[in-house]
Amino acid sequence: MRHAGAGRVGLSGGTTLVDRAICRAERHLVPDERWGIWSHAFVFEGARVDDQHWLIESDLQILRRHIQLGVQENRIDKYFDEQIYPNLAVLDFELGPGMTKAVVAGGLDLAANHARYSLRELAGTLLALKNPALRGRGNLLARGNSLFCSALVQHLFRRAGLDLAPGIDLKNTTPEDLARTPVPHRAWVLQRAEWGDKPPVRGHLPRALGAG
């Protein structure tokens, strides 16, 4: 949590069926076709008056009978369950105050205006992963006022003047693309599981990795 500064990017690799499907699809990004590590991305908002760190993300959440589908704010402790989120990372692009404000304010504006999470667009991205020629083109299943998780992060940073995945269409950007960004940054990575070509297996020993 000490690395969760405002304007930094967070990545998680989860063990749900949707997370597994995304990691499996990301195998097309590497020559040996190993599964990707990252299945979700978000932007840290910073600490608030409750002394809790908050983040902005586009996600699907079902809380009892309440469904949240789209851009939303959540506390960072959502990702403290290591059984559900064994892999976590923080990317720091060392934004200045102006860019940090632009990224966070842009995310809050999308949350206030209820931008949606689009499973349809996510399916379009998975199609593009199978055909690299489509990656730089518009998402075949794009729709208005919709952004899935990594597309949200790319959208906020591009509007602030920083392209984290050059040559890739906004709505074809994956969490793995953000992790592999060519933009200089510092990274803190906690990897407890390595998918390989098999579904995630819980119970791996923790392995902390650092870069930068």
Residue with tokens 């599981």: 193
H-run or E-run covering 42: strand 40-47
Domain count for the chain: 1
| Domain assignment present for 1 | no
143 and 118 in contact (C-beta within 8 Å)?
yes
Asked whether residue 2 is domain-assigned, the answer is no
> pLDDT per residue over 163-194, tens digit each?
999 999 999 999 999 999 999 999 999 998 87
Cα gap 112→99, rounded to integer Å: 20
Q: What is the pTM of this model?
A: 0.87
CATH of the domain at 76: 3.90.1720.10
Asked, for residue 86, whether it belongs to a domain, the answer is: yes
**b or e along 73-82 (b: 16 or more beta carbons within 10 Å of the residue's beta carbon)?**
ebebebbeeb
Asked whether residue 36 is assigned to any structural domain, the reply reads yes
Per-residue pLDDT, averaged over 118-141, amounts to 89
pLDDT tens per residue across span 79-110: 999 999 999 999 999 999 999 999 999 999 99
